[in-house]
Amino acid sequence: MKNKFKFILFFMLTMLFVSCNVFSPDYEIFENVYSPDNNKTIDGLMKNFVYSYTFKDSFLYEEILDEDFVFQYENEGVFGSWTKDEDVIITKRMFRSFKKIDLVFNTDFPQHTSMQDTTVFTSFRISFYSGDVVMNLTGYSKFIFRKYSEDETIYKMIFWEDLK
User: What is the phi/psi pair of residue 21, to 5°?
Assistant: -95, 105
Q: What is the pTM of this model?
A: 0.76
Paired residues of 37 in beta bridges: none
Dist CA 90 CA 139 (whole Å): 19
Per-residue exposure over 30-68, b if at least 16 CB sit within 10 Å of its own CB, e if not: eeebbbeebbbbbbbbbbbbbbbbebbbbebbbebbbee
Q: Which of 35-39, 77-81, 116-120 has the lowest mean pLDDT?
A: 35-39
For residue 140, the model assigns a pLDDT of: 94
User: What is the phi/psi pair of residue 23, to 5°?
Assistant: -95, 0
SS3 33: coil
pLDDT in tens, 109-153: 888 788 889 999 999 999 999 888 899 999 999 999 999 987 778
Q: Can you give the residue ranges of every domain in the chain?
A: 32-162
Fold of the CATH domain 32-162: Nuclear Transport Factor 2; Chain: A, (3.10.450)
